[in-house]
């Protein structure tokens, strides 16, 4: 099959699984896209580059300055919340929400998809673990797919072959994602989830992202290869 796909690859557990799913489905060539959007650290970006290399994907890094807009603990000078209860994590929009992030990321993905003629775009969003983020919901993904088919030259010129936004993790729990990825051979030691790692890249073990990751491995009964500080 020579049907290209574009995968948004942050370097985290979810997007690594997404890349493995696209590769396993036979898409070829694989184009991966990561963003330097003023995160507090670069460990995720290093992880993304390594994962892309393992899958022989054509990897691109886009620099964008969402930081100029402020508004999130992931990009502004606000403390990352630690040791929150499962109840607190599950309710409300967390302070780590980056304004319109998935809209911005999917827009760049669409631009690169147009250039590489990739009608299949993969994004590792998850509606269960990230219920507080408006742009991780199924209706958001469906709306972006509608937009993509109106916005691009490739879809306009060939409406029989629409752009598809694949979100294969949308309805999976973290444990199910880890089981799926493990079955596909994903080495999760290469992925990075922590919002607030040590300078050398060890996971803090206490932010929401670390908490979800730890619980996911525990629930999946799969050893967690993450090195926590």
Q: Give the interface with a copy of itself as residue ranges (CB under 8 A).
A: 60, 62-66, 68-71, 93, 97-104, 106-108, 110-115, 134-135, 137, 139-140, 143-144, 146-148, 150-153, 155-157
**Cα→Cα distances 217→64, 127, 154, 206, Å:** 32, 18, 41, 15
Q: Which is nearer to a copy of itself, 151 or 184 (CB)?
A: 151
Question: Residue 101 or 119: which CB sits closer to a copy of itself?
Answer: 101
* Residue among 143 and 229 whose Cβ is closer to a copy of itself: 143
For the bound state, the minimum distance from the C-beta of residue 138 to a copy of itself, rounded and expressed in Å, comes to: 10
Question: Taking the complex as a whole, how short is the minimal distance between the CB of residue 38 and a copy of itself, in angstroms?
Answer: 12
Phi then psi dihedrals of residue 9, to 5 deg: -125, 100
Closest separation in Å from C-beta 210 to a copy of itself? 23
Between 150 and 200, name the residue whose CB sits nearer to a copy of itself.
150
Give min distance, CB of 181 to a copy of itself, in A: 27
Q: Tokens representing 29? A: 């060539």
């Amino acid at each position: 099959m020579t049907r290209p796909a574009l995968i948004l690859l942050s370097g985290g557990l979810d997007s690594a699984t997404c890349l493995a799913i696209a590769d396993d489905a036979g898409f070829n060539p694989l184009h991966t896209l990561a963003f330097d959007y003023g995160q507090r650290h670069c460990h995720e970006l290093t992880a993304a580059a390594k994962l892309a290399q393992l899958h022989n994907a054509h990897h691109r890094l886009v620099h964008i300055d969402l930081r100029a807009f402020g508004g999130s603990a992931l990009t502004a000078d606000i403390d990352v919340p630690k040791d929150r209860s499962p109840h607190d994590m599950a309710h409300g929009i967390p302070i780590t929400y980056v304004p319109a992030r998935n809209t911005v990321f999917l827009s760049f993905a669409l631009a690169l998809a147009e250039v590489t003629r990739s009608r299949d775009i993969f994004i590792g969003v998850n509606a269960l673990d990230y219920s507080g983020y408006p742009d991780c919901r199924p209706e958001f993904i469906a709306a972006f797919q509608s937009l993509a088919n109106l916005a691009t030259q490739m879809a306009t010129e060939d409406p029989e072959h629409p752009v598809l936004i694949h979100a294969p993790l949308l309805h999976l729990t973290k444990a199910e994602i880890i089981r799926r990825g493990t079955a596909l051979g994903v080495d999760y030691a290469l992925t990075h989830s922590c919002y607030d790692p040590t300078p050398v890249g060890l996971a803090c073990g206490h932010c929401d992202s670390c908490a979800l990751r730890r619980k996911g491995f525990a629930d999946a009964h799969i050893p967690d290869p993450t090195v926590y500080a």
